Structure 1
Amino acid sequence: MALVNHNVAARLLPCALVLLSVTLNLAITAFSAPTEAEVLLKFKASLGDSVAALSSWDPAKPPCPGGSWAGVLCQDASVWGLKLQNMGLKGKFDMEILKDLPLLRTISIMQNEFEGAFPNVRAISALKSIYFADNKFFGEIKADAFDKMTGLKKIDISHNQLTGSIPTSLTTLPLLTELKLQQNSFTGQIPNFQQDRLTLFNVSANQLDGPIPDKLTKLDATAFMGNDELCGGPMPPCPSPTKVPVGTIILCVLLAVAALASIFVAIGILRRRKEDPVAQNQNVPPASQVHKKGPSVDMDSVEKGVPPAESEPVKNSNQISVRLTFLREDVEKFDLPDLLKASAEILGSGVFGSTFKAAIGASRRVMVVKRFRQMNNVGREEFQEHMRRLGRLRHNNVLPLVAFYYRKEEKLLVTEYIDNANLSVYLHGNRGRGVPSLDWPKRLKIVKGVARGLLYLYNELPSIVAPHGHLKSANVLLNDSWEPLLTDYALSPIVNQDQAHELMIAYRSPEYKQQSRITKKTDVWSLGVLILEVLTGRYPSNTSPKERGNETDLAAWVQSIDRADWKAEVFDKEMAGKKNREDQLIKLLEVALGCCEPDMEKRWEIKEAVERIEKIKE
């Protein structure tokens, strides 16, 4: 019997030792693991001096239950979430510290000043929601940053300074319902999102290009606006695969170019034949045979240097001109062959067409050439007369037209290159590139310049109902002195009317939506929207290429906020130099709302708007 007991004890001894080891390990772990209070206090210490809002984090009191610690969300007796919004917190956001909170499922640090690289969110793989909007995180996010975070449902990392591609690991999150990436500097194409649950999606005001994935094509255009090279779905159609790629040099898009080489060869052969008696006896094909390879040119006009407008009328529809018509005498003249030889760079592709810059001639002067695709219905004489009218405009805040090219299938407008970017880039696209945000004095200067330029167009083009017609931040160029220059103005008389309502801002005004017409106050409405964009830093919904009319515009958003909260909630937090100038900001905001009045009878006249803007001081 004793022997049996001894055998049983021998068999149980290893099990006892294992049990004892496990018990000891659990005890050691329990003893060494930091408490939730210790974790949060360590996180607080990592933020340096920016923790005044966390003064209630008292080590003498537990964070849970009871909710005595500001911003700490509890479930039963454990920390479930952190809601640290708009607390003035700065520095690095260290997810590694917070991984010791075992039940943490949601983090919101929106509207603070956290900076540095995007946090390592995978340190807490069980998170369900991440709200990091309105901070200063910069740089690229790794493609696998969200791998294996299978419970993640909501992500908001908008209004930061993030660059590079959208992380492909976002497409692998099975429960994802909300994704907000707007107001960053993401580049490249949108990954192929396949989630059926994804109902809220926004990538507006980035630098994305290419086709919108099929799963996202039914979303509203406001989810994609501010990415001029996105196409498909609610955005402009993608180019046909059979067309020449956008990246080819400028004149590859011109139908006339294909014939130029044979034309110039024919010119040279004919001249040599005429001047050289020996050459006259050679077996040279007749000119009629040479010209069968391409359209003919009005040779008298070309050789005499007479612009197409002053040359004899075109004799048949196959004739083309290789000359540009210049509207200014103070620039070096060049023609299409000069453009063929110039180094060119694509600046972008918008609703009207492609824009290029090219260094021309011996001086290498940089010019901008914009190709328009929606003017095929306008006749030669009407087009040329309108261009000459625009060519006579001279104002410090209106970009002058240098030259133009007319062909029924092709219209080119040439302007000088402005080395600084457009206003939209400075308001929405430069975060993360080391370029500071526009301060209040610069913004006021820009608004005043835009208003002056717009008033000038009203005075000089009284017969045009909306003298600008396409006023938006992307059409306001900024020179080195931060003086604004209006561009893409006065195009409504020559744009195909059946396409104008899809292309031009004037046709998205309240009066066009309600009564299908534009008026003398339509540009005033556009000015008001632009001022709101400058003051708030928000992208206006009504510049969407295919606006549905259901989204809240900037004016409605401002008016929905109590006036007492305007200073705290309305103005762009990136606007330096606005302190102690709130009264001037309020005055300009009131001007914007007066310009954005939906009722045309109550909306201000352009003269009144400009006078009120001029009274506002820096």
Structure 2
Amino acid sequence: MARKRILLSTRSTVIVLLVIIFLHLTSVSAESEADILIKFKESLKNSGALSNWNNQKPPCSGDQENWVGIFCEAGAVWGLQLQNMGLEGTIDLDSLTKLPHLRTMSFMFNNFDGPIPELARLSGLKTVYLSNNMFSGEIPPETFIGMTGLKKLHLANNKFSGQIPISLLDLPKLMELMLENNEFEGEIPQFPPDRIKRLNVSNNRLVGEIPHSLSNFTTSIFDGNTDLCGAPLKSCTTPNKLSPGTIIPVAILVAAALAALVVVVVILRKRQQAPLGPGEAAAASASATAPAYGKAEQKAYVELDKMEQGRAAATSRAVAPGTTSPEKPSHAKKSEPNVKITFLKEERDKFDMSDLLRASAEVLGSGVFGSTYKAALGDGQMMVVKRFKHMNNVNKEEFHEHMRRLGRLSHPNLLPIVGFYYRKEEKLLVADFVENGSLAVQLHGNRSRGRPCPNWPTRLKIIKGVAKGLLYLYNELPSLTAPNGHLKSSNVLLDRSFNPVLTDYGLVPVVNQEHAQEHMICYKSTEYKQTGRITKKTDVWTLGILILEVLTGRFPSNFLQQGRSNDTDMATWVESVIRDEASNMDIFDANMERAKQCESEMMKLLKIGLDCCQADVDSRPDIKEADEDSGG
């Protein structure tokens, strides 16, 4: 197979170095901090306050600032303080990433709007001040991954919504967090004791018990969140002292089961009734435009959504594991049918929704498809239930057929779908729990928690297993353009022996197209950006990006962007670093333990990853070649 050569010949290397030196000597100003900042200024609107940002003087003279809003240290730009300047437009991170010494930035009291910038691209920042603007929308949970030096984060007085991002927990130096006067929902994350020194979450929509690690703060920082409880506020009165992590998923499953049960009972009773008379038939015809589901079910699902958003925690009654929902009618008969899960594996022990209701449960997380819960069944089985909200364009027959197709798959590197539950508006998929969590946590979460990261032999084993699982999907699902479609490190789970299993595969045909294009990884590929289409080699591209992430330990930040991101992707960054042969080994994750003799293998795998990421689809290997090359 024709393969792009990464290491230049000695002669070519000398020529390239001479060219670089020449360009540096003749056009050094092209990379100057002055031009970088002037380009950044061009991305802003109403930037009259920055009128002295020009090439008449450099931004810094030693520690002296020559430009307004600049902090300098040793002749380099150390910080930006662009407060109360009436600025609008886009914060151009492409320019700011070229300032290697930038450690602090403040854009408070301006008029910036839209989603939060991708701050993880500026991983060296220590302080970020974005308060008193008009930023809005949910902050993705991965937003702060890798910002291990961040100490202060101010986001107050904006319109941020959704949950407080969980990646804040992995910032070991974070001591100041100001989130007041937004629209944050859900529970306050369980911050480690003594980490946060200054905090304000007042006037949001937060619910549940205040973490014990924050109980020493004054009550004023929690004001305006009527559904918060626990010290320093009034004590929580939850029955049986259940934790919110148990109450919420159990209540959600109860509501879902009750709603489905109502539908089943209504249908069975209607079948037992006599045929309608002429008058009754006319009445039924007149109500033909009514909703497809009864009022009880509609109400149950409204409450379901409220509970999942964390807004009804204070008013909904908790359901203890092993008990019956207090909302269940007292006249319910034992003969009424239970809500059944459709199983895809005959050899599996069967259970139904009532078993899940009796299980102790906890929320594992919330992703682009929906929330995920872990349930411990009475017989010791640990199951994972994932709730999908973006499949409502798939009818029942199509969904059942596709699920059975996925249910027939069997491979050591695929997580089997054990069963499913269908409802028009949403679906539930049930799978086994995998002990060691996701590859993303092992690569990125462990580092911030001070835990060991996977070594080179483990990472190589993981890549080999992923390639095998991907090849199997290609062979078994030949009609799908992207048989996986959503390959990323958080969808690679690791068992007790760190063998990888793929999850969330084969879902492109059943996910709403609009939602898929915004969030699924196959639609982040270079070919989709260029042509608006994915190809048979799109999953090969995602494999290449995963290989580079595993080797470098860096999270592909362009995956965080919704829609067609124009950010520099992982492959482009890797190629830019290894152009200089002397820096080849610097590309690898410093936290990855390996023997010296393994470096040639690591470089070989790096080349394979780059080959898989070729922008020219025809230049990429096919999946069989990629599997063989990676040792699969």
TM-score normalized by structure 1? 0.55
Question: Counterpart amino acid of 1:351?
Answer: V
Q: Distance in 2 between matches of 1:428 and 1:416?
A: 24
Q: Distance in 2 between matches of 1:173 and 1:450?
A: 47
Q: In the alignment, what sits opposite 1:462?
A: 478
Q: CA deviation at 1:497?
A: 0.9
Question: Counterpart amino acid of 1:445?
Answer: K
Aligned residues: 393
Q: In the alignment, what sits opposite 2:392?
A: 376
Spell out, residue by residue over 1:171-207, the C-alpha distance to the aligned partner (whole angstroms, 9 max, x if none): 9999xxx9977899x9xxx9974288x9xx9723579
Q: CA deviation at 1:437?
A: 1.2
1:27-66 maps to which residues of 2 (within 5 A)?
none
1:406 aligns with 2:427: no
Spell out, residue by residue over 1:461-508, the C-alpha distance to the aligned partner (whole angstroms, 9 max, x if none): 000000000000000001111110000000000001122101200011
Question: Matched residues, percent identical?
Answer: 47
Q: Distance in 1 between matches of 2:253 and 2:169?
A: 19
Q: Is the 8 A contact 2:455 2:594 kept in 1?
A: yes
Q: In the alignment, what sits opposite 2:155?
A: 213
Q: In the alignment, what sits opposite 1:549?
A: 565
Cα 1:556–1:203 change in 2 (3 A) is same
List runs of 5+ in structure 1 lacking aligned partners: 1-103, 107-126, 131-152, 158-169, 219-223, 270-290, 297-318
TM-score normalized by structure 2? 0.54
| Aligned match for 1:323, one of 335, 340, 343 | 340
| Aligned match for 1:194, one of 101, 120, 131 | 131
Q: CA deviation at 1:329?
A: 2.6
Cα 1:442–1:590 change in 2 (3 A) is same
| Aligned match for 1:203, one of 132, 144, 165 | 144
Q: Is the 8 A contact 1:262 1:293 kept in 2?
A: no
1:515-554 maps to which residues of 2 (within 5 A)?
515-546=531-562, 549-554=565-570
Q: CA deviation at 1:371?
A: 0.3
1:79-118 maps to which residues of 2 (within 5 A)?
none
List runs of 5+ in structure 2 lacking aligned partners: 1-61, 65-75, 80-100, 111-116, 136-141, 171-178, 187-203, 209-226, 228-243, 270-292, 299-335
Question: Counterpart amino acid of 1:213?
Answer: L
Q: In the alignment, what sits opposite 1:155?
A: 103
SS, match of residue 597 in structure 2: coil
Cα 1:294–1:243 change in 2 (3 A) is farther
| Aligned match for 2:603, one of 576, 579, 586 | 586
Spell out, residue by residue over 1:312-359, the C-alpha distance to the aligned partner (whole angstroms, 9 max, x if none): xxxxxxx99821100113332111222222211000000000000001
Q: In the alignment, what sits opposite 1:607?
A: 624
Q: Distance in 2 between matches of 1:540 and 1:550?
A: 13
Cα 1:265–1:376 change in 2 (3 A) is closer
Q: CA deviation at 1:559?
A: 1.2
Q: CA deviation at 1:542?
A: 2.8
Q: CA deviation at 1:257?
A: 3.6
Q: Is the 8 A contact 2:540 2:613 kept in 1?
A: yes
Q: Is the 8 A contact 2:262 2:297 kept in 1?
A: no
Q: Distance in 1 between matches of 2:207 and 2:109?
A: 36
Q: Distance in 2 between matches of 1:202 and 1:324?
A: 36
1:349-364 maps to which residues of 2 (within 5 A)?
349-360=366-377, 362-364=378-380
SS, match of residue 614 in structure 1: coil
SS, match of residue 410 in structure 2: coil
Q: Is the 8 A contact 2:143 2:167 kept in 1?
A: no
Question: Counterpart amino acid of 2:610?
Answer: L
Q: Distance in 1 between matches of 2:429 and 2:444?
A: 27
Q: Is the 8 A contact 2:435 2:495 kept in 1?
A: yes
Question: Counterpart amino acid of 2:507?
Answer: L
Cα 1:261–1:243 change in 2 (3 A) is farther
1:332 aligns with 2:349: yes
1:44-443 maps to which residues of 2 (within 5 A)?
154-155=102-103, 193-194=130-131, 203-205=144-146, 213=155, 248-250=248-250, 252=252, 256-259=256-259, 294=296, 322-360=339-377, 362-443=378-459
Q: Is the 8 A contact 1:395 1:456 kept in 2?
A: yes
Q: CA deviation at 1:294?
A: 3.7
Q: Is the 8 A contact 1:343 1:359 kept in 2?
A: yes
Q: Distance in 1 between matches of 2:511 and 2:262?
A: 33
Q: In the alignment, what sits opposite 2:528?
A: 512
Question: Counterpart amino acid of 1:325?
Answer: T
Question: Counterpart amino acid of 2:594?
Answer: G
Spell out, residue by residue over 1:66-112, the C-alpha distance to the aligned partner (whole angstroms, 9 max, x if none): xxxxxxxxxxxxxxxxxxxxxxxxxxxxxxxxxxxxxx989xxxxxx
Question: Counterpart amino acid of 1:342?
Answer: A
Which runs of structure 1 show a deviation greater than 6 angstroms over 4 or more consecutive aligned residues? 170-174, 178-184, 214-218, 224-229, 236-246, 260-267
Cα 1:214–1:375 change in 2 (3 A) is farther
Q: Is the 8 A contact 1:351 1:545 kept in 2?
A: no
Q: CA deviation at 1:554?
A: 1.3
Question: Counterpart amino acid of 1:443?
Answer: R
Spell out, residue by residue over 1:96-140, the C-alpha distance to the aligned partner (whole angstroms, 9 max, x if none): xxxxxxxx989xxxxxxxxxxxxxxxxxxxx9959xxxxxxxxxx
Spell out, residue by residue over 1:31-78, the C-alpha distance to the aligned partner (whole angstroms, 9 max, x if none): xxxxxxxxxxxxxxxxxxxxxxxxxxxxxxxxxxxxxxxxxxxxxxxx
Cα 1:517–1:365 change in 2 (3 A) is same
Question: Counterpart amino acid of 2:249?
Answer: I
Q: Distance in 1 between matches of 2:574 and 2:132?
A: 34
Q: Distance in 1 between matches of 2:488 and 2:409?
A: 20
Q: Distance in 2 between matches of 1:251 and 1:381?
A: 29
Q: Distance in 1 between matches of 2:586 and 2:525?
A: 26
SS, match of residue 413 in structure 1: strand
SS, match of residue 466 in structure 1: coil
Q: Is the 8 A contact 1:567 1:582 kept in 2?
A: no
Question: Counterpart amino acid of 1:367?
Answer: M
1:562-573 maps to which residues of 2 (within 5 A)?
562-573=579-590
Cα 1:590–1:252 change in 2 (3 A) is same
Q: CA deviation at 1:595?
A: 0.2
RMSD (Å), alpha carbons: 4.8
Question: Counterpart amino acid of 1:449?
Answer: G
Q: Distance in 2 between matches of 1:250 and 1:238?
A: 19
Q: Distance in 1 between matches of 2:128 and 2:265?
A: 49
Q: Distance in 2 between matches of 1:600 and 1:226?
A: 34
Question: Counterpart amino acid of 1:604?
Answer: P
Cα 1:382–1:371 change in 2 (3 A) is same
Q: Is the 8 A contact 2:261 2:337 kept in 1?
A: no
Q: Is the 8 A contact 2:471 2:627 kept in 1?
A: yes
Q: Distance in 1 between matches of 2:400 and 2:436?
A: 30
